[in-house]
Structure 1
Amino acid sequence: MHMTPQKKIEILQHLIQIPSVNDHETEVADYLASLFAPYPQAQVEKIPFAPGRDNLVVTIGGAGPQLGLSGHMDVVAPGDTSAWHHDPFGGEVVGDRLFGRGASDMKSGLAAITIAMLEFLEQGTPLNGSVRLLATVGEETGEYGAATLTDAGYADQLAGLVIAEPSGLDQVVYTARGVIDYKVVSTGKSSHSAEPENGINAIDNLMQFYNAVGPLMAKHTEEDPVLGHLLHNVDLISGGEQINSIPAHAELMANMRTIPATPNQVIYDELEGLIAKLNQQDGVDLKLTYSYPEEAIPGDPHAPLVQLAKQISEEVCQRPAHVVGSGGANDGAEFLRAKADFTSIEMGPGSDTSHQADEYISITEYLQAITVYEKLVPAFFDQLQG
C-alpha cells in the first residue's frame, strides 16, 4: 500500500498552512507526530526549546547504524503580502507549482523525509539500521533547535545525516561556510557639544574599531577551493542621541562567513585582541558579543554518503547531479558537534524562490524527493555493510 500522490501533496499543504514564522513550531511538530500515531513502533519525542517551540525526534527501524534525516519547521516572515499573488499560507496549487511561505525553504523537504519514513512503516520495509527524523525549531534565526538536540545527545549515534534543505535534487552539498555575527558596543559620556572636553565621544571610539577591523580580517587570504575566502561585512551601525550632544552610545554589527581553513576560534582571538588593545586607551570602552556563531563544515566530496546521494538522485531524476559547497550555514554545523563522527550532506527539493514573494516548489520535484530518500536510506545501510 503506497500513499497516493494527492495525499503527499495534502500533507505539504497542511504544513504550509501552519504559519510557523520563527515561532509556533509546536503546531508543526504536533501535526508531524500525529502522522506517526498509527505506528506504535515509531518512537516519537518532543524536545522543548521554549514555550510553543518544540523540536521533534522520531526514530524507526531496528538495531544497526543510524541515519539522520533533518529539516527545520520554522519559516521566515512573508514580508510585504501585497507583493504575493498567492496566499503565503495557502498552499495553493497552480499547474506543477505549489505556492506558499516555506514551500521551498523547507517544508517540502521536511514533508518528503517524513513521508519516506511513513512509507517505510506502512510497507513494513526491512531496514538494516534505524532512521531518525530530527525536526528543528529556529534554524532561520540561529540553528538553536539543532543546538538543543545536539546538546541533549540526539545526534550521538548517527552514522550519517541528510538535511533536506532546498539545494535542488541536482545538488549534493557536502561543505558549507560557517558564520560569525558579532556586535561591538561603545560606551562614552554625553556632554554639550559646545564642551566636548566634558564628554567622551562613543562614535569616535567605535570608529577606531571599524577602521582597524577591516584590514585585520583582510589579512586572511586563505582560499577554499569550493567556498572561496573569508567574508567580513559591517552591516549595521548606529549611535548618538542628538545633533548638539556628544554621543554616549554607539554600536555596530557585522556578519562574517568563515571557511574550514580558519576555525572560528582564530577569529574570536583576533577580534578580542583588537578590542583589548583599543580598550587600553583612556576613555575607550568597547564591548564585544557574538550571536549564534556556527563553525564551517569541512567535508569530503568523495565520502560514500555524498557519492551515494549523487548516484540515487541521478537515477531517480534522470539528470546529472553535482557535488557542491554552500555559502550559507545550516543545522549540520550544530549536529556535527555531536560525539559521533559522520558525514553530513544537504540535499532536498527547492526552487530559487526561498525567502521571496510567491515562493513555490515544483510538485514533480517534491514527489521525486520522496523517492530519492526512500531509495537512499536502505542503500546507505547496504553500503555500510558492503
Structure 2
Amino acid sequence: MTPSTPDHAPVVALLRDLVAIDSTSGTPGEAAVLRRVAREFEAVGEARVTFARGADGEPTALLVSPATVAVDEPLLVFASHADVVPVTDASAWSHDPFGPVVVGDRLHGRGSSDMKSGLAASVVAVRDLLTRGAPVALAVSTGEEVGCLGAPAVVDLLSGHRVGAVVIPESTDGQVVLGHRGALWLTVRTSGLAAHGSTPERGHNAILDLVAVLGRLGDLPLSDHADLGRETVNVGVVSGGSVPNIVPDACEARVDLRVVRDDVDELVAWWRAQPEVTEVRVDLDLSAVWTPRDHPWLGGLGAPVSASPASYFTDASVLVRSLDAEVPVVVWGPGDPTVVHTVDESVSVAAVVRAVDQFRRAGDRWAADRRAADRRAGDR
C-alpha cells in the first residue's frame, strides 16, 4: 500500500493503538485507553481535558471540551466507551485479538467494531473541529459493556455544559440510528423449605414455585412503541437447588426486559405481586432512547437514516436522563454490527476513514448553525 491509501490514515494508526490495548471491562486497560485518547489532545490549545476518577485514582471517564466556550453555547457531543467484551478463547481467532492487523480492507481485533473504530473516528474529528473553534466535545466512558457503569461519570463531567445534540458512534454500518429500547434487568427469588428428597411432602420446593411464576409470563403488561416496537422478556439464568435428594429451599431467575416506557414501576410491581415471589431486585434500569424522524438536525448529517432502531442499548440510556427532552441523540458509527462480540471481530478501514469526514462535516454544520443562530439573535 502507498502512503495515500486509507490504511495509512491517521485515524487508522490511532485505531491500531486502541485495539492493541486489552481494555476488557473491569481491567486496567480501560484507563489506559482513556489516557491514550487524552494524549491526542495534548498539543491542542483549544481543548480542555478532564478526567473523572475512581476511589483508586484511576480514570473512569474522560471529557474533552472547548477550552473557551460561552456557558450557554450548546455542544455537539460525541460519546464513546473504552471497554470491550472478553476474549474467551484467543486460539479460535485467526489473528491475535489484541494484535491489530489489516487484511484487505478489514482491520481485525477485539473492539475494532465495538466500538474503538467509532471512538477513533470521533477523536480525530473532534480534535480537528476544536482547532477550528467548533462547539463540540468528546466523552468517553468505561464499563459500558457491563451495564453502562461509567456513564454516570460522563453525566457529571457534562454537568457544567449545555448539550445540544449527542452522537453515540457505536456500530451502525454508517447509518444514523434514531434510538433503542431501554433495559430492565431483575433478579427474582422464591423461597421454600428444605427436606429429604424421599419425603418431598415435608418440604416446599422453591424451584416449582419459580416454574409457576414463569408459566405466567404471558400476563406481563408489555407495551408497544410505534418506532421501537414491543417490549420483550428473556429469562436468561435460572438457578436453584444443590443435589437431587434435597428439596430446594431457594431458587432465582435473572430476567432481561427490553423496555420502551419511561417508568418501569408497573413491570417491577408485576413480579413482586406474584404470590410465590419472595424478593425482586432491580439490577439494571436503563431508559429507552428515541429521536423523532422529523427532527431538523438529522437532515444536515449527510448519512442515511435507518428504518429500524438499534437492537442493543448504549450509554445514551443514561445520558438522556440528564438532557432536555428536545435534545436529539443518535447512534451513528462505522463499526459492523454483524461482527460485534464475535470471534475475528473486524471493521472496514474505508468506513472508519469515511466516518472521520462525516463527523467533521457534522461538526462544521453544527458550528455554522450556531453562528447563524447568534446572528439572528443579534438582529432582534
Check conservation: 2:231, 2:260, Cα contact below 8 A.
yes
User: Matched residues in 2 for 1:106 and 1:377: separation?
Assistant: 20
Would you say 1:358 and 2:344 are equivalent positions?
yes
Instruction: State the AA in 2 paired with 1:135.
Output: V
1:231-269, CA deviations, whole angstroms, 9 ceiling, x for partnerless residues?
112121121111111112211111111124x74233223
- Unaligned 5+ segments in structure 1 are 279-283, 314-319
SS in 2 for 1:325: coil
User: Matched residues in 2 for 1:108 and 1:336: separation?
Assistant: 23
1:145-197, CA deviations, whole angstroms, 9 ceiling, x for partnerless residues?
1123225654862011011011111x211121111111112222212123334
Match of 1:147 in 2: 152
Q: CA shift at 1:381, angstroms?
A: 3.2
Would you say 1:346 and 2:331 are equivalent positions?
yes
1:283-342, CA deviations, whole angstroms, 9 ceiling, x for partnerless residues?
x56211122221111320111232222xx23xxxxxx55353122211111001115341
SS in 2 for 1:215: helix
User: Matched residues in 1 for 2:157 and 2:190: separation?
Assistant: 37
Q: CA shift at 1:75, angstroms?
A: 0.5
From the superposition, tell whether residues 155 and 328 of structure 1 become closer, same or farther in structure 2 (CA, over 3 Å).
farther
- Greater mean deviation of Cα atoms: 224-233 or 356-365: 224-233
Check conservation: 1:156, 1:338, Cα contact below 8 A.
no
Q: CA shift at 1:5, angstroms?
A: 4.3
Check conservation: 1:73, 1:136, Cα contact below 8 A.
yes
Would you say 1:268 and 2:268 are equivalent positions?
yes
Would you say 1:227 and 2:213 are equivalent positions?
no
1:195-240, CA deviations, whole angstroms, 9 ceiling, x for partnerless residues?
334433211222232222x1222x53x4433322111121211211
1:31-59, CA deviations, whole angstroms, 9 ceiling, x for partnerless residues?
11111111243111111246455211111
SS in 2 for 1:44: strand
Match of 2:298 in 1: 306
User: Matched residues in 2 for 1:191 and 1:265: separation?
Assistant: 36
Q: CA shift at 1:383, angstroms?
A: 3.0
Check conservation: 1:164, 1:347, Cα contact below 8 A.
yes
Number of residue pairs aligned between Structure 1 and Structure 2: 360
User: Matched residues in 2 for 1:359 and 1:253: separation?
Assistant: 28
Match of 1:47 in 2: 52
User: Matched residues in 1 for 2:156 and 2:75: separation?
Assistant: 18
From the superposition, tell whether residues 298 and 43 of structure 1 become closer, same or farther in structure 2 (CA, over 3 Å).
same
Instruction: State the AA in 2 paired with 1:297.
Output: V
From the superposition, tell whether residues 329 and 74 of structure 1 become closer, same or farther in structure 2 (CA, over 3 Å).
same
Instruction: State the AA in 2 paired with 1:195.
Output: T
Match of 2:287 in 1: 295
Check conservation: 1:116, 1:374, Cα contact below 8 A.
yes
Check conservation: 1:155, 1:338, Cα contact below 8 A.
no
User: Matched residues in 1 for 2:53 and 2:279: separation?
Assistant: 32
From the superposition, tell whether residues 246 and 291 of structure 1 become closer, same or farther in structure 2 (CA, over 3 Å).
same
Match of 1:247 in 2: 248
Check conservation: 1:235, 1:253, Cα contact below 8 A.
yes
SS in 2 for 1:307: helix
From the superposition, tell whether residues 331 and 216 of structure 1 become closer, same or farther in structure 2 (CA, over 3 Å).
same
Match of 1:58 in 2: 64
Alignment partner of 2:81 out of 72, 82, 106: 72
Check conservation: 1:100, 1:358, Cα contact below 8 A.
yes
- Greater mean deviation of Cα atoms: 288-297 or 133-142: 288-297
Would you say 1:126 and 2:111 are equivalent positions?
no
Check conservation: 1:150, 1:156, Cα contact below 8 A.
no
TM-score (norm 2): 0.88
Match of 1:211 in 2: 215
Match of 1:159 in 2: 164
- Greater mean deviation of Cα atoms: 243-252 or 101-110: 243-252
Instruction: State the AA in 1 paired with 2:137.
Output: R
User: Matched residues in 1 for 2:267 and 2:206: separation?
Assistant: 24
SS in 1 for 2:154: helix
Match of 1:100 in 2: 109
From the superposition, tell whether residues 134 and 29 of structure 1 become closer, same or farther in structure 2 (CA, over 3 Å).
same
Match of 1:378 in 2: 364
Check conservation: 1:174, 1:306, Cα contact below 8 A.
no
User: Matched residues in 1 for 2:145 and 2:55: separation?
Assistant: 16
Instruction: State the AA in 1 paired with 2:83.
Output: D
Instruction: State the AA in 2 paired with 1:305.
Output: W
- Greater mean deviation of Cα atoms: 104-113 or 249-258: 249-258
Match of 2:190 in 1: 186
Check conservation: 1:196, 1:246, Cα contact below 8 A.
yes
Instruction: State the AA in 2 paired with 1:227.
Output: L
SS in 2 for 1:179: strand
Alignment partner of 2:9 out of 6, 9, 20: 6
Check conservation: 1:301, 1:307, Cα contact below 8 A.
no
Check conservation: 1:188, 1:285, Cα contact below 8 A.
no
1:86-120, CA deviations, whole angstroms, 9 ceiling, x for partnerless residues?
11001111121111001000001001111112223
Check conservation: 2:232, 2:259, Cα contact below 8 A.
yes
SS in 1 for 2:322: coil
User: Matched residues in 2 for 1:333 and 1:308: separation?
Assistant: 24
